[in-house]
């Protein structure tokens, strides 16, 4: 039993929460709610359905769970957040998010679901999921991929090699403009036996159902590009078109935005944040692992990355709120 589990079971957090309540906002960052070997999402962004229910029950019983737009309104007006406030968000738009929405609604809670508007069921394949599937469908010990001036020879002799190939291709897809990404993806489809398989994303009917449940629909662009690398013109279209499409589908304003592609690479800049604001969004969340508060930029709101383990999540909400002081990547918006 590790130290986080011991602290969790000791009852310390309940006492600490009462004596030293948080006045920051923990915006929780989920993605997929599925088994860790589901295949369509990296295991690092998956939380199993059982673990998610445990998270929700604990959060409902010990924190003030706010809809993100309500929390943003408090921050915008410079008011004081309720003690121990959290908001729940999901990135991407996986079909398994419908089950998560049902769990939340059954407890009287809401979350914000950031959807990749052009890649839901019936649209373009969601490239992070398709890339994993296509690499798995490559026969032979080597992937030879040439397109858009890029030549790659990647070994595929083991599961470790295939995982490394996905990581390498993901970095390349993020690091280039959208036409380069699409040229490489089309060539990969030609080489793979797994092209054209089932879509792991929500349908528009499911999105509308979630919205009727009281879930908040937000934008995660049209096709999940790395916005700075896409170029400002392409980024502007990705941002604005996603808002328009989502609003048309649900018949309601869409005011929340999330920048795609967090990780080691720069994924948002002041210029991109300006485009988000100009498109009419009220706020935007990042992948910077920290807590939001009065000093936060509303177009660069920090979030808390979740994991399968509830004890680790609780440790982050109670202890690491004092330790998270992340530095931005070069060229990003500096935290206040």
pLDDT of residue 10: 85
Which of 191, 213, 233 terminates a domain? The answer is 191
Q: How many domains does the chain divide into?
A: 2
d(CA 279, CA 52): 33
More confidently predicted of 174 and 14: 174
- Whether residues 114 and 156 share a domain: the answer is no
What SS3 state is found at 285? strand
Burial of 278 (0-12, 13-18, 19+ CB in 10 A): exposed
d(CA 313, CA 311): 5
Identify the CA nearest to 32 among candidates 86, 110, 78, 99. 99
116 inside domain: yes
Flag the least confident range among 1-15, 251-265, 293-307.
1-15
Flag the least confident range among 9-13, 136-140, 311-315.
9-13
- Whether residues 235 and 114 share a domain: the answer is yes
Asked if residue 169 lies in contact with residue 156, where contact means CB atoms within 8 angstroms, the answer is no
Banded pLDDT at 6 (limits 50, 70, 90) = confident
- Whether residues 264 and 163 share a domain: the answer is no
- Whether residues 179 and 231 share a domain: the answer is no
Going 209 to 104 to 311 to 81, the CA torsion angle's sign is positive
Q: Which domain holds residue 280?
A: 3-123+199-322
Q: What is the DSSP secondary-structure string of 234-282?
A: HHHHHHHHHHHHHHHHHTS---EEE-S--SSS----HHHHHHHHHTT-S
Q: In the 8-state DSSP scheme, what is residue 174?
A: H
Q: What's the whole-model pTM score? A: 0.94
11 inside domain: yes
Banded pLDDT at 263 (limits 50, 70, 90) = low
Q: For 284-305, how does the pLDDT look when each residue is reduced to its tens digit (9 = 90+)?
A: 999 998 999 999 999 999 999 8
88 inside domain: yes
pLDDT of residue 334: 45
- Whether residues 311 and 230 share a domain: the answer is yes
Mean pLDDT of 266-295: 95
Going 312 to 314 to 318 to 322, the CA torsion angle's sign is positive
pLDDT of residue 330: 47
Q: For 183-222, how does the pLDDT look when each residue is reduced to its tens digit (9 = 90+)?
A: 999 999 999 999 877 899 999 999 999 999 999 999 999 9
- Whether residues 155 and 31 share a domain: the answer is no
Q: What is the mean pLDDT of the chain?
A: 93
Alpha-carbon separation of residue 32 from 28, 37, 47, 284 (angstroms): 13, 11, 6, 20
64 inside domain: yes
Which of 132, 158, 191 terminates a domain? The answer is 191
Q: Would strands 142-147 and 150-155 be described as parallel, antiparallel, or unpaired?
A: antiparallel
pLDDT of residue 178: 97
- Whether residues 106 and 238 share a domain: the answer is yes
Q: Which residues pair with 192 in a beta bridge?
A: none
Flag the least confident range among 133-147, 231-245, 277-291, 313-327.
313-327
Banded pLDDT at 123 (limits 50, 70, 90) = very high
Mean pLDDT of 107-134: 97
Asked if residue 119 lies in contact with residue 126, where contact means CB atoms within 8 angstroms, the answer is yes
Identify the CA nearest to 257 among candidates 98, 113, 111. 113
Which of 152, 168, 191 terminates a domain? The answer is 191
């Amino acid at each position: 039993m590790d130290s986080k589990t011991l602290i969790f079971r000791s009852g310390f957090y309940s006492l600490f929460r009462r004596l030293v309540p948080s006045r920051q906002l923990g915006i929780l960052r989920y993605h997929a709610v599925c088994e860790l070997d589901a295949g369509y999402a990296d295991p690092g962004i998956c939380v199993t359905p059982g673990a998610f229910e445990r998270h929700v029950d604990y959060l409902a019983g010990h924190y003030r769970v706010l809809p993100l737009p309500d929390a943003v309104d408090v921050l915008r007006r410079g008011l004081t957040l309720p003690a121990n406030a959290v908001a729940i968000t999901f990135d991407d738009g996986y079909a398994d998010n419908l089950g998560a929405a049902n769990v939340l609604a059954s407890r009287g809670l809401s979350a914000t679901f950031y959807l990749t508007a052009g890649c839901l069921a019936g649209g373009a394949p969601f490239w992070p999921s398709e890339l994993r599937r296509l690499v798995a469908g490559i026969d032979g010990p080597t992937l030879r991929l040439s397109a858009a001036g890029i030549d790659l020879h990647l070994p595929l002799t083991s599961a470790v090699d295939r995982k490394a190939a996905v990581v390498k291709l993901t970095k390349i897809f993020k690091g280039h403009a959208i036409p380069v990404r699409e040229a490489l993806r089309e060539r990969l489809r030609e080489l793979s036996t797994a092209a054209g398989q089932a879509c792991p994303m929500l349908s528009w009917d499911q999105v509308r159902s979630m919205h009727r449940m009281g879930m908040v629909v937000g934008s995660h662009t049209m096709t999940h590009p790395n916005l700075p690398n896409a170029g400002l013109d392409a980024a502007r279209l990705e941002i604005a078109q996603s808002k328009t499409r989502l609003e048309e589908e649900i018949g309601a304003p869409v005011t929340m935005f999330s920048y795609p592609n967090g990780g080691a690479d720069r994924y948002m800049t002041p210029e991109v944040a300006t485009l988000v604001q100009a498109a009419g969004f009220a706020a935007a969340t990042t992948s910077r692992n920290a807590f939001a508060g009065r000093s936060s930029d509303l177009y660069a709101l920090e979030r808390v990355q979740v994991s399968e383990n509830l004890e680790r999540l609780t440790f982050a909400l109670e202890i690491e709120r004092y330790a998270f002081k992340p530095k931005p990547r070069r060229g990003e918006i500096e935290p206040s």
